Amino acid sequence: MEADCAKHVRYCHLCQVYADQIKAPPNELRPMAASWPFSMWGINVIGSINPKASNGHMFILAITLASVTANTVARFLKRDIIARYGVPETIITDNAKNLNNRIIDELCERFKIHHRNSTLYRPQMNGAVEAANKNIKRIIEKMTVA
């Protein structure tokens, strides 16, 4: 049975398309200390995903979104982070415009949240985040493609 499975995976088109191909050597993980649980949030948008979710959404920000506007991100922060887990001390985002704008700045000022941006190019971190995002997208594709 094991040989049959191995043979199937070798010749299955979908298995080859969605196979994990690790090209970078693993790096040592370094834990970040936080003063209390959920005091620091790292936020990144994944998308666009294909195929779209059943409700037409194409982006992921812990929830699926039809579009990733500043208002949508601000609503997510208020409803899904602040209301559920309390006001974080810090949020860390990449430099995307939907995460760095006047609306998000006003929200952070209102709740006294420190908004920090990740560095423009830090291969160790950017590669890890993008690899995780790619894995999430791959899992979704595997689950939705027949």
Q: What is the mean pLDDT of the chain?
A: 78
Distance between CA atoms of residues 120 and 112, nearest Å: 24
pLDDT digits (tens, 9 = 90+) for 63-102: 767 778 889 889 989 998 999 889 999 988 888 788 889 9
Q: In this structure, which topology does domain 36-144 adopt according to CATH?
A: Nucleotidyltransferase; domain 5 (3.30.420)
Distance between CA atoms of residues 125 and 34, nearest Å: 18
Using pLDDT thresholds of 50, 70 and 90, give the confidence band for residue 36. Answer: confident
- pLDDT for position 113: 94
- Using the predicted structure, report yes or no on whether residue 122 has a pLDDT greater than 60: no
Q: Which residue has the higher pLDDT, 107 or 56?
A: 107
Domain ranges of the chain: 36-144
- Using the predicted structure, report yes or no on whether residue 4 has a pLDDT greater than 60: yes
